[in-house]
Amino acid sequence: PDFPELSLESRRQWLYFGVFPNAVIYFYPEKAGYYMSLPCSPGTTRVIGREYGLPGASRAVRAAQYLSSRIDKMTYLEDNALVQWLQEAARTSVFPLDNLSDIEAGVLRFHQRLKKEIPVMSLVHPPAPGTLAAANQAMRSGAARA
């Protein structure tokens, strides 16, 4: 459909803005929305989100909203499968650190930022139970001096 209220350039763009550490806001010509990951436990995460469209949208716009939602759902399922695979792989001894392709540059930057904020994430083995906060603080202090 045509969106005369948008600039010519914006009529065909899908824009995504990552909000560190766990949210994305997106703008499509036919709708806008957000989603965010909420950790529930070390092994589970809940994803919540919402989409918004202009009231009184034409049939063509509603069809575009429906189709883009289908694409989003397929992408979510692919991403979820990848996360499940990575979680399984991360528990093996052969899993390399920062093993991401060039097309996952945003994910790599996200991981690097998390490791800067939570240095213990870069350890191959977790700290002993009850020592995580102290280990993290020690690593932060050491990084500040380096």
Residues 6+ apart with CB under 8 A from 35: 23, 24, 47, 48, 49
Hey, CA dihedral for 81, 96, 102, 113, is it positive or negative? Answer: positive
Asked whether residue 91 falls in the same domain as residue 111, the answer is no
Of 57, 60, 4, whose CA–CA distance to 32 is shortest? Answer: 57
Cβ pair 40, 46 in contact under 8 A: yes
Asked whether residue 89 falls in the same domain as residue 105, the answer is no
Q: What tens digit of pLDDT does each residue of 54-101 get?
A: 889 999 999 999 999 999 999 889 888 877 887 777 677 666 666 666
Q: How many domains does the chain have?
A: 2
Of 86, 123, 77, 92, whose CA–CA distance to 104 is shortest? Answer: 86
Higher pLDDT, 94 or 41: 41
Average pLDDT, the chain: 86
**Host domain of residue 5:** 1-95
- The model's confidence at residue 35, banded by pLDDT at 50, 70 and 90, is very high
Show the tokens assigned to 81: 């499968």
- In total, the chain counts a number of residues equal to 146
Asked whether residue 132 falls in the same domain as residue 65, the answer is no
Asked whether residue 68 falls in the same domain as residue 137, the answer is no
